[in-house]
Amino acid sequence: MNQNNPAPHHDLKDIARRAMLARGLAPDFEPQALAELATLHNAAAALGGDVRDMRSLLWCSIDNDSSRDLDQLTVAEILPGTDAVKIFVAIADVDALVRAGGAIDAHAKHNTTSVYTPAAIFAMLPEKLSTDLTSLNGGEDRLSIVIEMVVNSDGTIASSDVYRAAVHNYAKLAYNSVAAWLKGGPAPAALAAVKGMDEQIRIQDRVAQTLKNLRHEHGALSLQTIQPSAVYVGDQLTDIKVEEANRAKELIEDFMIAANGVTANFLKNNKLPSLRRVVREPERWQRIVDVAKTLGGNLPAQPDSEALEDFLSKRKIADPMRFPDLSLTIVKLMGRGEYTVDLPGENVPGHFGLAVKDYTHSTAPNRRYPDLLTQRMLKAGIAGKPSPYSNDELTQLAKHCTDMEDAASKVERQVRKSCAALLLETKVGQTFDCIVTGASNKGTYVRCFAPPVEGRITRGFEGLDVGERVTVRLDHVDVEHGFIDFSNAKAHV
């Protein structure tokens, strides 16, 4: 492009802010919230009463390398004379500083979630809280809600409890380095520096695998969708990489799923309502049956998560390259998750994808408002008090949280597309190896292998079908709208 027609400057942060506003999300904190923030200090770990002192246990956090808002710590304790292990999950006591009905709470209640875009993170809580005062940071004492589980060797939970406690994070660990160590690599420095932490993580990993295996036996779905992540050098976008699943991520995921189940049952047993996270039986099950049939699968006429999991497991082995696209198709056909209220004596749906009946969100109160609501109800249950929210309030909040989560997801998806278009802006005319991910009257779409971006074939798409590999030429990008247009390279021969 010549100097008379210079390339337009695209600011992803500005695109993200406009996307937030367009979806009804607030990108900035109100002056009242910032004024309230200025009055907050670390919540004193007032021991005694209903707060236990558990700071001597070898707690650690495992999260993304760049994470600063640490919501949970974990620790394991082998029970002598048994084959069971006691797992403790400590959740940041955000409610200790974020007052219900306050200005900070009002902002969190409006957005209901942190919004993670390649350009910027629009945190649900001010940074001073989410990355400091209410974050379970390394080397710090913090108040928490502890979810205790005794896990048998077969992955069943023998007993559980929920209570308040003061905890201390002895090692801030990261997924990738812990996963590499579990596979035989060198120990991360933060792990090696704490005596006994290596054994701790190995015990936790073993227990997490038993929890995972049991869930999959019951029909939890093995889904693997592409998770792109922007790579920056300074402020310059240089690449997009795929976030890979690993053993350390699974460890935390499996503990959090179990902890959320314990939370739901604790509230039920204390005759308190709860905000459940549900994924209903797929209304488009017949379409899932049809998709499976085209790939040699034979699913029953009625929704059956165990049969679907068996099919998915076989396809992952048979065709790993196309499995992420099959996973995405199944996710879309299953429908989105939602929040609903479980009242004492009532029976709400479970989570079809996780194959669990009683499930809530409780483990990320720095990032999700439903978790903060649940935390307040847990504290009421611990203290033997009634719910701090009426049934009508919870019903309205459940719908609002579902709607705003959907809005946040659309913002994240829109900005990811703009990020991909920006990365490719200087590569018009170049060719890329891709796989066809969609072919219908709505258009033909492909996913490139490197970088992992998606776009539409606007020329030479005739005869292409899902799953075929194709070389495409990049013809046009629109960063503002996130459009990427390709043509079949054969059309230029």
CA distance 305 to 287: 15
Mean pLDDT to the nearest integer, 158-162: 97
Mean pLDDT to the nearest integer, 193-210: 97
**Percent of the residues in the chain that have a pLDDT greater than 90, as a whole number:** 77
CA distance 268 to 468: 50
Model confidence at 464: pLDDT above 80: yes
Model confidence at 48: pLDDT above 80: no
- Beta-bridged to residue 146, according to DSSP, are 90, 163
Tens of pLDDT along 247-268?
Answer: 999 999 999 999 999 999 999 9
Query: pTM of whole model > 0.85?
Result: yes
Model confidence at 88: pLDDT above 90: yes
- Asked if 480 contacts 15 with a C-beta cutoff of 8 angstroms, the reply is yes
CA distance 6 to 15: 20
| pLDDT on residue 233 | 86
Do the strands 157-174 and 51-53 form a parallel or antiparallel pair, or are they unpaired?
Answer: parallel
When mean pLDDT is compared over 101-115, 239-253, 272-286, 427-441, the highest value belongs to 101-115
CA distances from 463 to 194, 305, 439, 444, 487 (A): 60, 34, 9, 10, 13
Higher pLDDT, 3 or 430: 430
* pLDDT class of 445 with cuts at 50, 70, 90: very high
**Percent of the residues in the chain that have a pLDDT greater than 70, as a whole number:** 97
* pLDDT class of 46 with cuts at 50, 70, 90: low
> What is the rounded average pLDDT for all residues in the chain?
92
Higher pLDDT, 357 or 211: 211
Domain boundaries, the chain: 12-279+339-420, 285-334, 428-492
CATH topology for 428-492 is: OB fold (Dihydrolipoamide Acetyltransferase, E2P) (2.40.50)
